Structure 1
């Protein structure tokens, strides 16, 4: 039954793609856009491995477009300057709002090899040693982040703004003093605002470094984007109280804060990020080739795409069990859309 359901979903997606892209005038080159988090030189080989997959599947040359700004990556796929992009859920939603012909291609699955557990984690962290104000007995609480200096990633980031800001507002709305607090109130700092100062890292790595460099008291960033640079020092992975330490061989931008440690005070699961495609630029036939290639057994077994911790390689996608790329439709991202309501 699972296979039947999957086939029905694929057929439905291809019907949408066909309707949108029968007239697509394809270039001999496919351009892939990357968010700042995946644009670092240290994971260039991981980007190129995805490029090889796309070239083999389509017979087209691949060009990579790295960015230093979320908005640039989102705009690029929406306006057709790139054909495919790897965006967060919120980035996809924003791109689709700008251009209805942007569709999800695949997402990395969870450990089960399905979309059921396809999540990563949004963290709010403080420097190790600064946990006490955020604790009530052995539990962590957010109360004392009010009035502090805080770092987000970008207001277009799912796990670096959308999810943590929603969590903060939901938590503080229960208090009379903050019953009218809105997410927009967190965008800027000031003496009369919720935070005294708000910084944006521009990437998850940048937000983490803002914290470790003592520019802020607390920061939001995600687990997967910093996993190449930090290791679990104590506690349970992806749980409040866990302490992470920057590796001695950490690449930029963590090379300036080697040995730095931070503690998690809040952890929230987030829907995995999709590769998305502009169906006005890429034909239904090419999209089918791409989906077949991404979801193939060969790709699932490719240790340069799904990288195990034991390999010592730096990648974008982790291999801990049955991780693979899987097909989802637009409705999969509705839980993130609902955070804006």
Structure 2
């Protein structure tokens, strides 16, 4: 049985990976998190994933590591520095991001130049990938926008914005590529990467023929029963992102969830005509992509109990 240390296992992706490994007949997950949790039934190591000494101790006896640590730019870089120095001789599946492509447009394959020109998060993700060069057996997964049950950003937040009629048909402001990928497909890619050590380097993760953002919003609205969607004029989106972003962000912190802000970076993403080429994930990792309608129906079902309460 393969012993796999899952870092960031309290997060959206990491938790799903740990559960999938526990349900397999070939792996034993060891959950690596910052805090102890008595409710967790999996073997658990409490550690600081940005500390080299902690990680050096944690990887003893591990066959592989799945790195799902997220957070701010400082955390991402510090975690990568610690991990790739402490476990350079282990099989590592590292969760990166499509953010490494920055403002690139068009169809983007894994050999495209890294372009950290959008924000500090992109800079950190690129630096983390450069630090991965210290390891010899690493695959870096570059997912697009991960949606599905449990996704706070690309399912819950989008559903809230659709319900409030703050997004819908954005016209030219929603013509960018969504590059959505279902959480189950991300988990499947991670598990496959653990079992195919000959696959190394970067791998894009986005469903083939992902819709543009207008198409994603419309399909999700249908799954939620929030149709017809309204046409949102450009001036309204500009007001929302520039005039209301800061006060809405403060209101979100005070209320816990609503109203969700639309930061300018998100509006830029909705316009960016970038399309991830998923060929390597399909061929080298054998990912079978979840149909959009199936994934959105699942996300809508996850959200429904909350909306009916």
Which TM class, normalised by the smaller chain length?
0.3 to 0.5
TM-score (norm 2): 0.32
TM-score (norm 1): 0.30
Larger relative helix fraction = 2
